[in-house]
Amino acid sequence: MLRMPPGRVRRVIRQAVRGRPRRVRLDNDQRRAQLLALARAAFSDRAYDDVSIDDIAREAKISKGLLYHYFPTKRDLYVAGLREIAADLVQAVTSVPPNLAPIDQARAGLDAYLDHITRHARAYVSLMRGGIGSDPEVAEVVEGVRTQLADTFVKDQPFAPLLAGNARFETTVRGWIGFVEHATIDWCVHQRMSRDDLRELLVEILFGIMKAALPPVFRPTLS
Amino acid sequence: MLRMPPGRVRRVIRQAVRGRPRRVRLDNDQRRAQLLALARAAFSDRAYDDVSIDDIAREAKISKGLLYHYFPTKRDLYVAGLREIAADLVQAVTSVPPNLAPIDQARAGLDAYLDHITRHARAYVSLMRGGIGSDPEVAEVVEGVRTQLADTFVKDQPFAPLLAGNARFETTVRGWIGFVEHATIDWCVHQRMSRDDLRELLVEILFGIMKAALPPVFRPTLS
DNA sequence: TCAACTATTGACTTATGGTCAATACGGACG
DNA sequence: CGTCCGTATTGACCATAAGTCAATAGTTGA
């Protein structure tokens, strides 16, 4: 196999060449941001195992060694990208105008959720399908998103204070999140209904489920 | 590195040793079954990447080459094991006594589901978390389980014939499956309630959700 | 005893994640 | 202008694990 000459020798060679490609130096933050962006793109449209570190290094026009200087393992790079994707989604959903009526709050949140997902479908799938099975850090990110979304949708609802810590209620909230995820993915795949119809369905289900999960005593409180 | 002597030479050596381990020959089906069992066990308690083909070959006391004779890739081995796990789960849920009242049918199915899961928790997690992110065959298996379970729980219900093909209904069914999965996983992790309480919650939610998903005209039909 | 069939082997290749000592670039300072 | 120093950058190298294949050993029947 052909082996590149060592650095010093090569420099001489390159200096003899007109218009040689100068080595590009970026500062820490710029380089890190560039690599993260490339990683997000790569991991969003290929499976984890189908993305090689060499690919990303090549796209960034840097050596693999430098990439490892910024992200000590492939997993770290992946998780860092995933965290950004997760943060974007949570950001989109939580930055909905406050002081709406409870049901409109939910509507607005779900609108933001569906909107964000349609605009970043691949990233969403790579987030929720959890590219690496059973990696604790990945699981932590995904769980974090679920918890934050659950909080967002439930905390301002009238029934929430009555039920904090109630096992049935907590389980139901988690379940509703599962409902939303699966219904959304199904919707992405099959396109069976309009986005507005889906949003209304999810809102109705949210209130319907919560009513069903309440201990009977509290039910009159609701509607 | 020490290199093993070629077969013929080694045979002579072995023959000189008292009680040498004879090479074990199994027929095709036995060997395949053995490897599948080992694979299921391995992939159930370690992540896909943490299971090496050499490990499994070592456990089976065979060479790696032979393993590749039975399963042409690691993925094939993994998927074959996954299919078995999936079939077991579906089998458990569908083999519930027929001719029960609709709500008891659902109850019995969910009982079987939760029972099977508690007895095969690791396999269930490795199934649902989808060990390999975004592998089409894996996705197909998981989707297949969901579809079959959904059919099982919905096909005998009184509202089903009214709604076949209805987009809202189909989406809701998928969502309910998501609800069940997430609530179940949450229950496995936190152990916040008894299995019976969870089962009752899931049944109530199933009927509550379906009612909410029905177009208003049909609702009186139900309760 | 031999031939044919098939289960089995293990050395080899290849791909890729990860390491590290050496190097090039740019600025500060005399 | 030179030269020292900090840091971004390199590329050869290593280690591991997936996957290949020609050769071998055990079995069965004539």
Tell me the CATH number at A184.
Answer: 1.10.357.10
Alpha-carbon span B114 to A164, nearest angstrom: 26
Q: Is B172 on the interface with A (CB under 8 A)?
A: yes
Q: Under an 8 A CB cutoff, do B47 and A131 touch?
A: no
Tokens of A184: 């959304």
> How many helices (H) and strands (E) are present in chain B, helices listed first?
11, 0
Band (pLDDT 50/70/90 cuts) for residue B213 is confident
B65 and B133: one domain? no
Q: Express each pLDDT in B130-182 by its tens digit.
A: 666 678 899 899 999 999 999 999 887 887 888 888 899 999 999 999 999 99
Instruction: Establish if A175 belongs to a structural domain.
Output: yes
B61 and B89: one domain? no
Alpha-carbon span B49 to A214, nearest angstrom: 43
- Closest CA in chain B for residue A191: B167
The dihedral region occupied by A61, where left means phi > 0, alpha psi between -120 and 50, and beta the remainder, is left
Number of separate domains in chain B: 2
A157 and A92: one domain? yes
Tell me the CATH number at B60.
Answer: 1.10.10.60
Last residue of a domain, one of B72, B99, B130: B72
Nearest CA to the C1' of D20 belongs to which residue?
B65
B43 and B101: one domain? no
Nearest CA among B140, B205, B170, B129 for reference residue A187: B170
Q: Give the pLDDT mean for A144-162.
A: 88
Instruction: Establish if B5 belongs to a structural domain.
Output: no
B38 and B146: one domain? no
Q: Is A216 on the interface with B (CB under 8 A)?
A: no
Q: Under an 8 A CB cutoff, do A208 and B204 touch?
A: no
Band (pLDDT 50/70/90 cuts) for residue B212 is confident
Tokens of A207: 């209130």
A153 and A102: one domain? yes
Show residues of chain B in contact with A177, CB under 8 Å. 182
Q: Give the pLDDT mean for A27-47.
A: 95
Annotate B159-187 with DSSP letters as a single string. THHHHTT-HHHHHHHHHHHHHHHHHHHHH
A108 and A191: one domain? yes
Last residue of a domain, one of B53, B72, B91: B72
What's the pLDDT score for residue A219?
A: 54
Q: Is A41 on the interface with B (CB under 8 A)?
A: no
Which nucleotide minimizes the distance between its C1' and the CA of B4? C10
Instruction: Establish if A186 belongs to a structural domain.
Output: yes
A59 and A92: one domain? no
Q: What is the largest CA-CA distance in chain B?
A: 86
B47 and B130: one domain? no
Which nucleotide minimizes the distance between its C1' and the CA of A67? D9
Alpha-carbon span B47 to A57, nearest angstrom: 27
Residues 7-46 of B with CB under 7 A from strand D: 7-8, 10-11, 22-23, 25
What's the pLDDT score for residue B187?
A: 93
**Beta-carbon count within 10 A of A98 CB:** 9
- Amino acid identity at A107: R
Q: Express each pLDDT in B78-118 by its tens digit.
A: 999 999 999 999 999 999 998 899 999 999 999 999 999 99
Instruction: Establish if B6 belongs to a structural domain.
Output: no
DSSP category for residue B95: T
Q: Which domain holds residue B129?
A: 79-221
Q: Express each pLDDT in A169-185 by its tens digit.
A: 999 999 999 999 999 99
CA angle A207, A209, A211 (to 5 degrees): 70
Q: How far is CA A129 from the centre of its chain?
A: 10
Q: Under an 8 A CB cutoff, do A182 and B192 touch?
A: no
Mean pLDDT of all residues in chain A?
Answer: 85
Q: Under an 8 A CB cutoff, do B172 and A201 touch?
A: yes
Band (pLDDT 50/70/90 cuts) for residue A156 is confident
How far is the alpha carbon of B217 from chain A, nearest alpha carbon, in Å? 16
Instruction: Name A110's Cβ contacts closer than 8 Å, sequence gap at least 6.
Output: A153, A180, A199, A202, A203
Q: Is A27 on the interface with B (CB under 8 A)?
A: no
Q: Under an 8 A CB cutoff, do A178 and B174 touch?
A: no
A39 and A118: one domain? no
A169 and A60: one domain? no
The dihedral region occupied by A99, where left means phi > 0, alpha psi between -120 and 50, and beta the remainder, is left
Q: Is A218 on the interface with B (CB under 8 A)?
A: no
Instruction: Name A141's Cβ contacts closer than 8 Å, sequence gap at least 6.
Output: A79, A82, A83, A86, A127
- Closest CA in chain B for residue A146: B182
3-state secondary structure (DSSP) of residue A223: coil
Q: Express each pLDDT in A74-90 by its tens digit.
A: 999 999 999 999 999 99
B19 pLDDT more than 60 = no
A119 and A182: one domain? yes
CA of A72 to C1' of C28 (A): 31
Alpha-carbon span B168 to A197, nearest angstrom: 8
